[in-house]
Amino acid sequence: EDKVVQSPLSLVVHEGDTVTLNCSYEVTNFRSLLWYKQEKKAPTFLFMLTSSGIEKKSGRLSSILDKKELSSILNITATQTGDSAIYLCAVVIIQGAQKLVFGQGTRLTINP
């Protein structure tokens, strides 16, 4: 069974801290790994990672994929209260057609 596991499930930090969110996967026919930020209802796309060891960066957020370890991390530096959200990791697999398998998400709370 294809599985994506995120940790921690919940994290509370103070503004200005740096956080690292983890995503590990066990899937067949891996294609790529996606990170989303979910506030309120709709997730918004952050990163797509296909190649191992290449860091993707956007402002204070960065992410990297390790295909050997079957995992990815999402880093957020100098956190702000606006970073509070659920961060979702999803793996794209190919089973005839493409399909996404999502992790449970990490609920990040940034306190002022």
Positions touching other proteins (CB under 8 A) are 31-32, 34, 40-45, 48, 88, 90, 92, 95-105
The terminus-to-terminus CA distance of the chain in angstroms comes to: 41
Closer CB to other proteins, residue 32 or residue 62? Answer: 32
The set of residues, in sequence order, having a beta carbon less than 8 Å from that of 12 and lying 6+ positions away, is 109, 111
> Cβ of residue 89: shortest distance to other proteins, in angstroms?
9
Closer CB to other proteins, residue 18 or residue 44? Answer: 44
- Round to whole Å and give the CA distance between 80 and 53: 27
Closer CB to other proteins, residue 18 or residue 45? Answer: 45
> Cβ of residue 11: shortest distance to other proteins, in angstroms?
16
Q: What angle do CA 53, 107, 33 make, to 5 degrees?
A: 30
Closer CB to other proteins, residue 15 or residue 22? Answer: 22
> Cβ of residue 78: shortest distance to other proteins, in angstroms?
26
> Cβ of residue 3: shortest distance to other proteins, in angstroms?
11
